[in-house]
């Protein structure tokens, strides 16, 4: 299979691009951020012939509301048309995303916004949309590897995803290693391969030296997904029906509020396929630090099955 074409991420006044490898694809960008250095690749990089976004043709409104963007809640407006997506973030700027996800162009900037905030914002919703348009969807998840098996933890904000992954990494011994802290891209379905996690993806809350995936493989088979739930009565791991698993995955997909109708249909197909190929289970345990050793033991036993 030939390599996928790169994603080009051009700033408002594009300079010389550098190449990075993340989420299973090459990213060419002139945005310079320390969080990307882990994923830098050697070799020359050059923009394609097309550098400009097409003229604004309006578009169908997809979303107009508040969203968490880098440093706080901001108004986000998203439009979609045959020419692609238009994304505006109050106080930061605007981007155009090509319909095939191959180009992201910064089309407006707020002069009051710090350059680092603008850059981090570009690596958020615009990049997530571009990846989704190419069939790679990102889920809100932490992830670990244990005994050669990769497990992802999903759940609502505050459910303990990062806490559990960090505990297993620090206290679980050499057989446990944290891969992802916040956002996990999943490769497009391939009938000839297992569902595949793509952990080489910048975690925005962590500096370069602490990126958990920096020393790990670029692609890993995904063995299990656990939906975290709090309960005061004990620890249990309960398989979800495929329909329940599909809904859980859809609810924890990054940026899904920005998906137009066609992309939303593809997203649902993706979740159905993922739920059919990867065991999705409810992991129930009291939200107390003292229970985490027992949670670790339960996870180890479940992954060994």
Contact present, 101 and 7 (Cβ < 8 Å):
yes
> What does the pLDDT profile of the chain (305 residues) look like in tens digits?
567 899 999 999 889 999 999 999 999 999 887 778 888 998 778 898 777 888 888 899 999 999 989 878 999 999 999 999 999 999 999 999 999 999 999 999 999 999 889 988 999 999 999 999 999 999 999 999 999 999 999 998 888 999 999 999 999 989 999 999 889 999 998 888 899 999 999 876 666 666 666 667 899 999 999 999 988 788 999 999 999 999 999 999 999 999 999 999 999 999 999 999 999 999 999 988 899 999 999 999 999 98
Helix (H) or strand (E) holding 7: strand 7-10
Q: How far apart are CA 175 and CA 233, in angstroms?
A: 28
d(CA 133, CA 101): 5
CA distances to 25, 100, 131 from 22, rounded to whole Å, are 6, 18, 10
């Amino acid at each position: 299979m030939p390599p996928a074409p790169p994603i080009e991420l051009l700033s408002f006044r594009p300079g010389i691009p550098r190449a990075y490898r993340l989420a299973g694809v090459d990213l060419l960008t002139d945005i310079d951020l320390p969080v990307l250095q882990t994923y830098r690749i050697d070799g020359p990089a050059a923009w394609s012939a097309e550098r400009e976004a097409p003229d604004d043709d309006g578009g169908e409104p997809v979303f107009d509301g508040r969203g968490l963007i880098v440093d706080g809640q901001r108004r986000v407006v998203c439009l979609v048309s045959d020419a692609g997506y238009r994304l505006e973030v109050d106080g930061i700027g605007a981007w155009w995303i090509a319909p095939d996800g191959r180009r992201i162009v910064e089309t407006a900037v707020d002069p009051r916004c710090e350059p680092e905030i603008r850059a981090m914002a570009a690596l958020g919703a615009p990049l997530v949309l571009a990846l989704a348009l190419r069939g790679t969807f990102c889920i809100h998840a932490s992830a670990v590897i244990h005994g050669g098996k990769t497990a992802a933890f999903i759940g609502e904000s505050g459910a303990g995803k990062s806490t559990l992954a960090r505990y297993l990494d620090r206290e679980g011994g050499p057989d446990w290693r944290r891969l992802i802290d916040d956002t996990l891209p999943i490769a497009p379905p391939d009938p000839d391969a297992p569902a595949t996690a793509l952990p080489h993806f910048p975690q925005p809350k962590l500096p370069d030296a602490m990126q958990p995936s920096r020393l790990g493989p670029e692609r890993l088979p995904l063995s299990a997904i656990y939906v975290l739930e709090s309960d005061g009565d004990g620890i249990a791991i309960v398989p979800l029906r495929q329909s329940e698993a599909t809904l859980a995955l859809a609810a924890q997909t990054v940026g899904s509020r920005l998906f137009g109708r066609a992309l939303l249909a593809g997203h649902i197909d993706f979740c159905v396929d993922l739920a059919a190929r990867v065991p999705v289970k409810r992991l129930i345990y009291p939200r107390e630090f003292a229970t985490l050793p027992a949670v670790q033991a339960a996870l180890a036993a479940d992954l060994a099955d």
